[in-house]
A and B are shown apart, each in its own frame.
Chain A
Amino acid sequence: KAGVTQTPRYLIKTRGQQVTLSCSPISGHRSVSWYQQTPGQGLQFLFEYFSETQRNKGNFPGRFSGRQFSNSRSEMNVSTLELGDSALYLCASSFLTGGGQDNEKLFFGSGTQLSVL
């Protein structure tokens, strides 16, 4: 089956702009999580959506937001971009109804590399 798809693969923006990233989870998965990956900070959790509701949130400013649609596809938005927002943004899907303990396993996409100039 198809894996997690993230678009676009690369993005270049300037400070002050906003950006929207997209994630299509594995078919049947109901949870989508977003992570920011930088060389200095590793994998930092942004937020998780489950059945169109934000279920968990990390310690990021309000400029970072997201949503999930009825087909489980998710988008994240970053407004008023700062240089420090340059990072690889990863999305991960999980949670099949009836999946039991396997629901803790995350399946990652290849990420969107965002560069803020």
Chain B
Amino acid sequence: GENVEQHPSTLSVQEGDSAVIKCTYSDSASNYFPWYKQELGKGPQLIIDIRSNVGEKKDQRIAVTLNKTAKHFSLHITETQPEDSAVYFCAASKGGSYIPTFGRGTSLIVHP
């Protein structure tokens, strides 16, 4: 089955800095790559996703890049703010399965 590795497990940055979280996947058939943000006491919330026919996608301060050849994808957050502090999960799934495999999460801490 699919295996998703996520790094780093913890990331500490100063407000205003950029943050990058990286994930690799094992199944070349995977074609959907969502990112979820989980705040304390809440369930994960989808913040951005990318499909295998696209190399990069942006939404305001967040962006995701995908390298299908290397089988890795990354989340980029620019101009970080304290409210960006949360656990971020990457995931990968194959079209039609609807069951993503999640990475183990990255705890992002943004210091004011």
Chain A residues within 8 Å of B, Cβ to Cβ: 4, 31, 33, 41-43, 45, 48, 56, 90, 92, 94-95, 101, 103-111
Contact = CB atoms under 8 A, between A and B. Distances in A.
Contacts of B100: 104, 106
Interface in B72-112: 89, 93, 95, 97-105
Most buried by B among A31, A92, A95, A104: A104
A43 B41 contact: no
A92 B43 CA distance: 9
Interface residues of B, number: 23
Contacts of B98: 31, 33, 48, 56, 94-95, 103-104
Most buried by B among A4, A108, A110: A108
A89 B97 CA distance: 21
Interface of B: 32, 34, 36, 41-46, 49, 51, 89, 93, 95, 97-105
A38 B71 CA distance: 26
Contact of B34 (A31, A48, A56, A104): A104
